Amino acid sequence: MSGIDGKVVAITGASSGIGEATALLLAEGGAKIVLGARRADRLEALAARITAAGGTAAWIGTDVRRREDLTALVALARQEYGRLDVLVNNAGVGPISLMDELRVEDWEQMIDVNVKGVLYGIAAALPVFREQESGQIVTVVSTAGLQIRPTMAVYAATKNAVRTLSEGLRQEAGPTLRVTAVSPGYVGTEFANSINSPDVRAQITAASAELAIPPEAIARAIAFAIEQPANVDVGDIVVRPTAQA
């Protein structure tokens, strides 16, 4: 991963799942990692694990619903390592349910985290990338937006919103900014833990147990996009279980 060595990469939602796997893989490849998530104890433990393996990591408690937290994450990267090369917008929630359940608070949470959280990340990183005349924004989207299914309406809508944002930003980016969207299918993460509908949680838990691929599969896709030469922009990657319909 010569294209990763030495790069400064900030990752949201880094305390578990795809974010954690991505941090470990990129650190192994020589990247300097800046970890952001709400669970500070997990971030501290992950940073210690990376350091013990010979890598480099810093961390800061980050709630992507707060714009100032994303600003602080980017500022930490510059303070510790002098720059930011990649922002991985990974934090996301999926308290999915049937629309008839009217779980409006869950809808609002998905909009706040999955859409506004990504926008806050872009707002924090974009001026830095323009100043440096280089940078990359990687956003973790979902195959839920590619094939809409019952219970997924609001979740898929948020993911398709950021898919649109990524494409719009890519077209505005010019020759020095790369923009990548990565769409995972079923992945073995804590996704089901955020689901408040008991029946839907049971369905997703069962489907994940049967189909899910490890978070490392998505981490490798993210690494692939990052390690490309500066003049190569990998716009969209879909990674799903072979058995997923």
Tokens of 142: 């979902």
Q: For the chain, 245 residues long, give each residue's pLDDT as a single digit of tens.
A: 679 999 999 999 999 999 999 999 999 999 999 999 999 999 999 999 999 999 999 999 999 999 999 999 999 999 999 999 999 999 999 999 999 999 999 999 999 999 999 999 999 999 999 999 999 999 999 999 999 999 999 999 999 999 999 999 999 999 999 999 999 999 999 888 889 999 999 999 998 999 999 999 999 999 999 999 999 999 999 999 999 98
Q: What letter does residue 189 receive in the DSSP assignment?
A: S
pLDDT value of position 61: 98
**64-81 exposure pattern, b = at least 16 Cβ within 10 A, e = fewer:** bbeeebbebbbbbbbeeb
In a domain, 172, yes or no: yes
Is 155 labeled as catalytic in the residue annotation?
Answer: yes
pLDDT value of position 190: 87
pLDDT value of position 1: 62
pLDDT value of position 2: 74
Q: pTM (2 decimals)?
A: 0.95
In a domain, 227, yes or no: yes
Tokens of 158: 């948020």
pLDDT value of position 132: 97
- CATH number (domain holding residue 218): 3.40.50.720
In a domain, 221, yes or no: yes
In a domain, 125, yes or no: yes
CA neighbor of 185 nearest in space, from 151, 152, 218: 218
In a domain, 23, yes or no: yes
Domains of the chain: total: 1
In a domain, 19, yes or no: yes
Domain that holds residue 202: 8-239
